[in-house]
């Protein structure tokens, strides 16, 4: 490993690498499994084939990476192999073995096994290869890159609601995003990843639509109202993501204290000069079913203010599902806007990424609900949709918008450097739909400029 890994908790693995790839059974997504060596091919167990391999962060992106996966059967030796990434065909010789955790989860008439592995002690700005399995049956080799120690330029992709027709229609958005931004460092999802959060097959379809992108590019999701639905389609009395959410993602536990059900629903990630804060806006309901909900919402709001007040990063983005300025179906989230807008104004949040309304809209720079000059303090708000489900235009907030567009599957590429944040919105056919730049001076003041190409 050339001294690039923390060895604490790692074991040496010295077997030779070999072929033996077989087509996988269903379990949500087609995949391959690889035996540890040609001699071990016959011992590989199809029931232990890793499915739905997905990267996310439960800790610092500079020094860690987490991966989750699932199998139909269970094993007493869940593990991953980790090596410095290289074009050398022998890069995996002497790869470190990292133990994983496993949970057996009821599914239909049987059970499935859900796994998580946390790679820690990694070097910043370094590439690593990994695969997951049980020591005999393996996933393919994937790779990831850790964040830099300093605020170096990078880009990421933002997507609004995927929700429906995931394998047939949302898959074209993920492919278009990969072709447009193959060097993206993560994908930020503004909620409603699936239509019915407690339906496991929909999560399988979501992972299949991502394909190997999900095993190579970390995912940063915000919970939507559909991600919290029960199996019968009803809403929970108190906001809580479906159990499959926590099986699929390994997210930071740095959210509001005292409310365990907000674990991995409200959190923040620091990445190369950017703080992206994720909120669960299902809490801000005009007519909550649970009398405790306003108290929990207040706790999240207080936590948000603390996170923004103690932010060492140059850029700040907040992401949540419900928009402050709705673009679709004549919605108006009054309670949400009243709770969050004063905080965004006070702490000079640069950009807010949202979903829910299934109609693209991006505001001009706003402060106190009003359009301000390009060089004045203010925040830009975006709403987007990446799946095929579409709504009609909401004209209530149209005067605040710089761009609105309906019936269009879209994704956004956001470039971040020390001096500039560039936002461009694309449709899945590759056309540029919208764009702007925020230039930030040494005092932290931004100047906005529209970008048309």
At 127-170, the pLDDT tens digits run: 999 999 999 999 999 999 999 999 999 999 999 999 999 999 99
> What pLDDT, on a 0 to 100 scale, did the predictor assign at position 291?
79
pLDDT band at 229 (very low <50, low <70, confident <90, very high): low
Residues recorded for the chain: 453
CA angle (253, 262, 413) in 5-degree steps: 70
The pLDDT value given to residue 93: 96
Over its C-alpha atoms, the chain yields an Rg (Å, rounded) of: 22
Distance CA 236, CA 60 (A): 32
- The tokens describing 184, both together, are 């993206």
Angle, alpha carbons 251-415-274 (nearest 5°): 45
Gap between the Cα atoms of 384 and 161, Å rounded: 7
Strand partners, 318: 277, 352
Tokens representing residue 420 in the block: 């500039």
Q: Give the least confident one: 186-200, 247-261, 277-291, 388-402.
A: 277-291
Distance CA 149, CA 273 (A): 9
pLDDT of residue 10: 32
Facing residues of 119 across strands? 65
226: helix, strand or coil: helix
Strand partners, 56: 66
Backbone phi, then psi, for 202, in 5-degree steps?
Answer: -70, -35
pLDDT value at position 260? 80
Q: 305: Cβ–Cβ under 8 A, 6 or more apart, which residues?
A: 343, 346, 347
Query: What secondary structure letter does DSSP report for 9?
Result: T
The CA-CA-CA angle for residues 105, 110, 115, to 5°, reads 30
8 Å CB contact between 387 and 166: yes
Provide DSSP, 84-129: E--SSTTTTTT-EEEE-EEEEEEETTEEEEEEEEEE-SPPTT-EEE
Joined together, the tokens standing for residue 109 give 């008439």
**Among all chains, which residue has been given the structure tokens 């990446």?**
386
Q: For residues 87 and 5, is the Cβ–Cβ distance under 8 A? A: no
Strand partners, 267: 278
pLDDT of the residue at 346: 98
- Of all helices (H) and strands (E), which one includes residue 173? helix 171-180
Rounded-to-integer distance, Cα 206 and Cα 189, Å:
12
CB 400 within 8 A of CB 323: no
DSSP H or E stretch at residue 34: strand 32-35
* H-helix segments, 310-395: 334-346
213's enclosing H/E stretch is helix 213-216
Strands (E), 274-427: 274-278, 315-319, 351-354, 360-363, 366-367, 370-371, 380-383, 401-405, 410-416, 420-427
Res. 30: pLDDT tops 70: no
- The pLDDT of 309-329, averaged and rounded, is 97
CA dist., res. 94 & res. 13, Å (int): 5
**CA torsion angle for 8, 118, 24, 207 (degrees, to 10)?**
-160
pLDDT, position 249: 97
What share of the chain has pLDDT > 90, as a percent?
80
CB neighbourhood size of 377 (10 A): 15
Element spanning 267, H or E = strand 267-271
349-362 pLDDT, tens digit each: 999 999 999 999 99
Burial of 172: CB neighbours in 10 Å, binned 0-12, 13-18, 19+: middle
Could you give the CA distance from residue 420 to residue 422 in angstroms, rounded to a whole number?
6
3-state helix, strand, coil split of the chain in percent (to 5) is 20, 30, 50
Instruction: Pick the range with the lowest mean pLDDT from 88-92, 98-102, 238-242, 377-381.
Output: 238-242
Average the pLDDT over each of 165-169, 263-267, 286-290, 394-398 and give the range with the smallest value.
286-290
């Amino acid at each position: 490993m050339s001294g690039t890994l923390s060895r604490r908790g790692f074991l040496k693995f010295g077997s030779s690498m070999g072929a033996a790839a077989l087509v996988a059974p269903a379990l949500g997504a087609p995949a391959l499994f690889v035996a540890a060596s040609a001699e071990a091919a016959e011992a590989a167990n199809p029931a232990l084939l890793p499915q739905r391999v997905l990267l996310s962060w439960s800790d610092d992106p500079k020094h860690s990476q987490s991966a989750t996966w699932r199998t139909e059967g269970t094993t007493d030796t869940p593990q991953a192999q980790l090596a410095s990434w290289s074009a050398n065909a022998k890069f995996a010789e002497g790869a470190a073995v990292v133990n994983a955790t496993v949970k057996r989860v009821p599914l239909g008439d049987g059970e499935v096994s859900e796994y998580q592995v946390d790679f820690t002690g990694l070097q910043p700005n370094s590439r690593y290869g990994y695969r997951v399995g049980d020591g005999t049956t393996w996933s393919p080799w994937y790779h990831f890159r850790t964040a830099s120690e300093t605020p170096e330029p990078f880009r990421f992709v933002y997507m609004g609601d995927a929700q429906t027709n995931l394998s047939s229609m949302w898959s074209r958005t993920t492919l278009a995003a990969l072709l447009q931004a193959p060097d993206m460092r993560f994908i930020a999802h503004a909620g409603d990843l699936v239509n019915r959060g407690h339906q496991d097959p929909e999560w399988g379809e979501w992972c299949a639509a991502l394909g190997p992108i999900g095993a190579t590019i970390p995912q940063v999701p915000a919970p939507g109202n559909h991600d919290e639905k029960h199996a019968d389609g009803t809403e929970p009395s108190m906001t809580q993501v479906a159990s499959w959410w926590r099986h699929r993602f390994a997210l930071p536990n740095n959210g509001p204290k005292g409310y365990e059900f907000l674990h991995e629903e409200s959190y923040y990630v620091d990445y190369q000069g950017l703080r992206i804060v994720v909120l669960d806006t299902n809490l801000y309901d005009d007519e909550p079913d649970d009398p405790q909900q306003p108290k929990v919402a207040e706790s999240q709001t207080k936590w948000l203010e603390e996170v923004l007040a103690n932010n060492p990063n140059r850029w700040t983005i907040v992401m949540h599902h419900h928009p402050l300025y709705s673009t679709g179906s004549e919605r108006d989230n009054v309670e949400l806007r009243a709770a969050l807008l004063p905080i965004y104004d006070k702490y000079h949040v640069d950009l807010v990424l949202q979903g829910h309304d299934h109609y693209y809209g991006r505001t001009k720079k706003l402060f106190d609900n009003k359009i301000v000059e390009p060089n004045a303090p203010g925040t830009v708000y975006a709403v987007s949709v990446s799946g095929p489900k579409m709504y009609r235009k909401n004209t209530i907030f149209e005067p605040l918008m710089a761009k609105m567009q309906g019936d269009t599957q879209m994704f956004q590429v956001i470039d971040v450097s020390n001096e500039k944040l560039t936002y461009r919105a694309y449709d899945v056919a590759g056309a540029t739909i919208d764009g702007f730049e925020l230039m930030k001076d040494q005092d932290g003041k931004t100047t906005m400029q529209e970008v048309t190409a």
